[in-house]
Structure 1
């Protein structure tokens, strides 16, 4: 009789089902008014006195196991039905995930990087919180230099020598300090200037600056690189360089592309001239090379820099720079199809 109880205990422990009907039949078989346990308890009086304790413990174990099995299977079944009620048919294919869109600034930055990567420029990055040396002094802007007023700077109050970088030229300084020529690098990144926010200006914006240093680098090399860039980026093959001034390059120039006058928009953005300014450039000043431990009698180089927002506004005809920073989903969703 004891062997029979142990056999039934093994069957109870092994039983599994996800059918309510099978679970109910199992309950009736073992725990019903005419079930196996009812009969076994009735047989208890016929068990020899010396075996009653062991037989009784086995019967109780069998009863508890049967009750727990029924309870656990019913709970699992109810949980599955509840999940199905909340989430529907869990075997159905999932709803397609709504894809996001790259920010237009990221799109344009990646395009610029790709264009210059094709002619051997690597990407270099640096800190947004800079010191005076890398942001100003090493770039031929010593203390009290009047050209510092060209860049309204956010200084860190606790340390007047620490500031938010005003251009990514500071990254170029760090790169020149740690690498020997030939150097061919571009430095994309966010910069900060203490300016009033308007449709055409912001206190936070993004730049890409390029640097090439080697022996016998000439202004003609710079012009050829810029011409290649404008063709690849804008599809424009006509550029002009106007004399300008930057403390860290000499000679310096502003770069214009001929945008054309085919549409009303062309007239508006070029103010009727057809020409559009896109960046500044020049030959690296020998003082800058010397400050970065590069011999200016042996090496020369050129540098250029452009605002990513300005390029994006041209490519996508965005009229207000503030739209880049408002996180308006209606604006950002327009760029889902862009690569």
Structure 2
């Protein structure tokens, strides 16, 4: 149940091309120690110190931080009947992260090019869904799970290797269906009193069916409760922002989706600045998924998942995802718990762009290998990295890659000497780790 940065479980699977032989980073045989626990390195080990340094940051738990503010707004909207879960450890097994969620053995998310491994037996979770079976088994009927998650990814203003997800679920017993019907009426009345327009383009036909083993009446009630509950949550998050932008109704759109673990399944979008933004994925839980979690077969559940950064960037008008990790008081002091305020840029320092190109030898260099090395060397001083050329020599058959690296600090102007030193070190790391020939 892999989510994108938008949502923990509900995503379109994005297949990545797997080229040639992949060389891991584990050239140092010394054990890896994380949070006082030692992990023996092996051929899977690829997590680097710059990533591990984020494990103790917990920005989603700091009350005045934008990520925590969004989390709290959602938790407050659902109220005390939903149990917040915020302290599950980020180191999990591949079984938790993939196998229990029925990821295919060849799913690209399993590859060390996409995920961070301490070794073949332990990894950093790539989604909050790694804990889903555990939480359902606990018997909690309503819950909201928030956590930091880790993925090897590109470098630009909207992608970062560490981000935050929230997923929520509600399990309904047969004896509670009459009460649920009344609750649905109350939620519908409440939505009718606020400035929101919901365009429901979803269907429940052949392409997005109810599950045949469900009691149809119960499934209809749970599906309606899912939609009313999430429409209310979306209005709680975005309603004031829409009002500040001319007083037009908040426009929300529901469309069909496909996720193997829910049925029916939906994606929900919000119109913002003339564009439809995907906010979350959701659906009625597949009964097989609940059965794996030891949930009694007569119960029906709904679930949703979302990315906290995506929502926070819209609500607070934060232009660069790196800012969420800033410890600059000029950033942190702009925000207060429970309040959504627009970020005021305190400066725009100049960028410095430099290109790096290299010939490959006998080892293919995955793009995420390049990104990890850049992050390890330059950290938050890199704004974006993009591939600008991929070339195979017609005579020799040798392949080359070229990347453009944009350096920009969010806190000061970088000197030419600083940038040159960083750029030179990136080239040296690529040469030492992957035996490339710098051009």
Q: Which structure has the greater CA radius of gyration?
A: 1
Q: Structures share a fold, TM > 0.5?
A: yes
Q: Is the 8 A contact 2:65 2:337 kept in 1?
A: no
Counterpart residue number, 1:229? 233
Give the Cα separation in 2 of the matches to 1:136 and 1:104.
30
Aligned match of 1:176:
136
Shift of 1:138: 2.1
Aligned to 1:258: 271
2:97 counterpart residue number: 135
- Answer whether contact 1:184 1:211 (CA < 8 A) is retained: yes
Query: Pairwise mapping of residues 1-339 of structure 1 onto structure 2 (< 5 A)?
Result: 102-117=64-79, 120-125=81-86, 126-145=88-107, 152-157=114-119, 160-179=120-139, 183-215=141-173, 216-217=218-219, 218-235=222-239, 237-259=250-272, 266-267=273-274, 270=275, 275-296=276-297, 298-336=298-336, 339=339
Change (3 A) 1:338 1:228: closer
Return the offset for 1:315: 0.7
1:101/1:145 Cα in 2 relative to 1: closer, same or farther (>3 Å)? Answer: closer
Q: Deviations over 1:160-186 (max 9, x none)?
A: 132111111223321112226xx1100
- Quick check: 1:115–1:233 contact (8 Å CA) kept in 2? no
Query: Does structure 1 retain, via aligned residues, the 8 Å contact 2:109–2:115?
Result: no
* Alpha-carbon separation, structure 2, partners of 1:212 and 1:247: 18
Cα deviations across residues 221-258 of structure 1 (Å, max 9, x unaligned)?
A: 21111111012121165422222233432332211123
Q: CA deviation at 1:190?
A: 0.7
Do the aligned residues in 2 keep the contact of 1:199 with 1:320 (CA within 8 Å)? yes
Mark the runs of 5 or more structure 1 residues left unpaired by the alignment.
1-99, 260-265
Contact 1:101 1:335 in 2 (8 A): no
CA contact (8 A) 2:124 2:149 kept: yes
CA distance in 1, matches of 2:142, 2:327: 35
Measured in 2, the distance between the counterparts of 1:109 and 1:338 equals 10
Count of matched residue pairs: 221
Deviation readout 1:19-47 (Å, 9 max, x if unpaired): xxxxxxxxxxxxxxxxxxxxxxxxxxxxx
Cα distance in 1 for residues equivalent to 2:254 and 2:110 = 24
Question: How does the TM-score come out when normalised to structure 1?
Answer: 0.59
| Segment drifting more, 307-316 vs 207-216 | 207-216
Shift of 1:141: 2.0
User: Following TM superposition, by how much is the alpha carbon of 1:309 offset from its aligned partner in structure 2, in angstroms?
Assistant: 0.9
More helix by share: 1
- Given that residues 140 and 287 in structure 1 are in contact (C-alpha distance below 8 angstroms), is that contact kept between their aligned partners in structure 2? no
CA displacement at 1:219 relative to structure 2? 1.9
CA contact (8 A) 1:131 1:163 kept: yes
Distance 2:79 2:337 in 1: 24
Q: Which ranges in structure 2 are unaligned for 5 or more consecutive residues?
A: 1-61, 174-217, 240-248, 340-439
TM-score of the aligned structures, taking structure 2 as reference length:
0.46
Q: Do the aligned residues in 2 keep the contact of 1:238 with 1:258 (CA within 8 Å)?
A: yes
Moved segments of 4+, more than 6 Å: none
CA contact (8 A) 1:129 1:164 kept: yes
Which structure ranks higher in relative contact order (CA pairs < 8 Å, sequence separation ≥ 6)? 2
What is the RMSD computed on CA atoms of the aligned residues?
A: 2.5
Residue 289 of structure 1 aligns to a residue whose secondary structure is helix
Return the offset for 1:285.
2.0
